[in-house]
Amino acid sequence: VIPRGTSIKRHSACIVLKSECYSINAAPGSGVCREARDGVCVGHAEMVRAERAGAGETKNPQTACTPGSGTGQCKVCEAAIGADKYCSECDQTTEAPIDGNCITISGGDICTKNSAKGTCDSCGTGYFLHKGGCYSTADDKPGHALCTAASGGVCTTAAAGYFAIPNAPNTGESVVKCDDTTGVEVSTNTYKGVQNCEVCNPPTTPVGARADSVAVCTKCGNSKYLKTDGTCGESSDCTGTTFPKVDTSAGNKCLLCGDATNGGIANCQECTTSSSTVTCTTCTGTNKPNTAGTACIACNIANCASCDKENVCTKCSGKKLSPLRDACLTDCPAGTYDSNNVCTPCHTSCSSCSDAAESSCTACYPGSVLSKGETGNTGTCIPECTGRYAENCEANQCTAVLGGSKYCSKCKSGYVPVDGLCVSATTRAPTGCTSKGDGTCAFCTSTYFLQSGGCYNTQTLPGSAVCTAVTGNNGQCTTCANGQNANSGVCPVCPAGCSKCSGSNTCTACLAGYYLSGTKCVKCSENSTNGGNTITGVPNCVSCAPPTTSGTVTCYVTQDPTVDSADPSVNKTGLSSGAIAGISVAVIAVVGGLVGFLCWWFVCRGRA
């Protein structure tokens, strides 16, 4: 205590309390004041302690704010900054929390105090209101962890991990933690953070939108992944149009499949991920993923699922891949078979097959017939009217036409035509033929129908190419395969090359080896005109599709030239018999001349 009578005018080391002078350098004065001017305390001890704490003194979260009663004591500790708790309401109504510590408020420069309790209603320059107290944005103050710049008692620039509320009033909260999902209500909006968000930007929702204004998260914490919708989730949430990418610096993210800069695949719409490898399953626009799923290829082919090269399809979606890999088809064309939705070439002799073997044919091109094995419905394709189909057939009686190929119409005595083969006339079951006694059938039974003197099964080729159903046991056809109506049990014949027709002159579908040109069926190797369109065939082609306008047919299968049954003078090489005869004569002449020369030479040499 300073002795009475000592002058304290402009004294900077003591204060006057209850008419006594106390030094601020020793107890008990030092416990109340740490800075004095003209006998008046201008730096209260509690405030100085708080400043020192901000400057580096360690504050234990358990002891930094402990509820108590009396001067400088906190009543409620609910202001959380980081891991520490600070005072949110002082015990004394004359005090309020300044930087988390209870200080006597004598003016409103820093805090406009609530008149009823120990809190601030608003803050002054350089401070912002947070949980009932005013916090400085200075680097050495606890409030700097929330806000780095304030104006008019409102936070204008938030620290990392927080966002500043746009246009916030100075009478409430103005900064929100990025992961605060409860948020702060301002007028008609509630400003919220995102669960598990570590770094964010202020919401973009317009003021007055009357909705939750959620922060725009830029980095997730707790090893979560930032999703494209701005929320934080698990790596398993990065599916469909996104894939997960680990980034310990910028934060884990769900990136768009097409983000090639960050490990995605250009033009990829949907993808999967395995062991950090991105595999594209769907591309944008007309692009298609390659087989490995490592790139999106320009591929303007309808229903194509993947392409390895531009417009070269490798897999179709819900369709079958053309043997040329240029289209996805509803059905495989003639000369190919469906192998896991890929149209794979048969042996070149087969118009349909079960696999690529020569003996796996199930149907043949016009001009050939199926020679089946001992069991099953597969076999090899041989020229019509040859092999087993010529056995016991009367001379010049191979005239029955079914499916574009010829079969025996009259057999030798004791035989009848059944399914194109001459079988013993005594064999009744299951042939279904009742012999007429002249090498033909009088009528057919069971599932057989009468055609050109023979009985044919409606359930297998070649009969099913003409008739698919009979009535009773009279052998009369009731349902024609070519779409025509049966006339007295007989199916009307379509024009050459047609498999279906309407009337006697209008084709609607073609046999294997032909294409539809207007109302006519034309061989794949021949040209045609259809209205104003000119269609060009492909030499030796036996399976094709016509262009939609003028152009060349799309050829799927070609065969080497063979002897034309209508013109035996043309052989497999394509040379006429006259040409071959001329070449033969020339060869004989050359050989004869050479032999004569050698004989003369040796004879002359012997005489010499």
- Looking at residues 36-40, what average pLDDT do you find? 52
What's the rounded Cα separation, in Å, for the pair 446 and 458? 10
465 pLDDT tier (thresholds 50, 70, 90): very high
Indicate the helix (H) or strand (E) that contains 434. Answer: strand 433-435
Residue 225 identity: Y
Q: Looking at residue 531, what is its pLDDT?
A: 84
Q: Helix, strand, or coil here: 590? A: helix
Is 222's pLDDT higher than 70? yes
Please give the Cα distance from 36 to 33 (Å, whole number). Answer: 7
Beta strands in 399-518 (DSSP E): 400-402, 405-407, 415-418, 421-424, 433-435, 441-444, 448-451, 454-457, 467-471, 476-480, 498-501, 507-510, 514-517
356 token code pair: 């690529």
Q: Of the candidates 3, 38, 37, which has an alpha carbon nearest to the alpha carbon of residue 21? A: 3
- 463 pLDDT above the threshold of 70: yes
Write down the pLDDT at residue 428.
Answer: 57
Structure confidence at residue 426 (pLDDT): 80
Per residue in 509-539, pLDDT (tens digit) is: 999 999 999 999 999 999 999 888 999 999 9
What is the tens place of the pLDDT at every residue in 542-587? 999 999 999 999 999 998 865 443 333 333 333 333 333 343 434 4
What is the DSSP secondary-structure string of 348-383? TTEEEESSSSGGGEEEE-TTEEEEE-SSSS-EEEEE
| Torsion sign over Cα 575, 580, 581, 585 | positive
pLDDT tens readout for residues 103-151: 999 888 899 999 999 999 999 999 999 999 999 999 999 999 999 999 9
Per-residue pLDDT at 597: 55
- Please give the pLDDT value at position 97: 97
Question: Cβ distance 203 to 216 under 8 Å?
Answer: yes
Task: Provide the pLDDT for residue 586.
Answer: 43
Strand 514-517 versus strand 520-523 pairing type = antiparallel
What was the pLDDT predicted at 583? Answer: 38
Quote the distance between the C-alpha of residue 152 and its chain's center: 54
> Residues of the chain with pLDDT > 90: what percent?
71
Band of residue 93 on the pLDDT scale cut at 50, 70, 90: very high
**Does position 480 have pLDDT exceeding 70, yes or no?**
yes
Instruction: Please give the angle made by the CA atoms of 463, 334 and 304, to the nearest 5 degrees.
Output: 140
Given the DSSP bridges, would you call strands 507-510 and 514-517 parallel, antiparallel or unpaired? unpaired
pLDDT at 448: 94
Residue with the bigger pLDDT between 471 and 69: it is 69
Q: What does the mean pLDDT of the chain come to?
A: 85
Per-residue pLDDT reduced to its tens digit, 66-85 = 999 999 999 999 999 988 99
- Please identify which residue in the block is written with the tokens 């080729």: 461
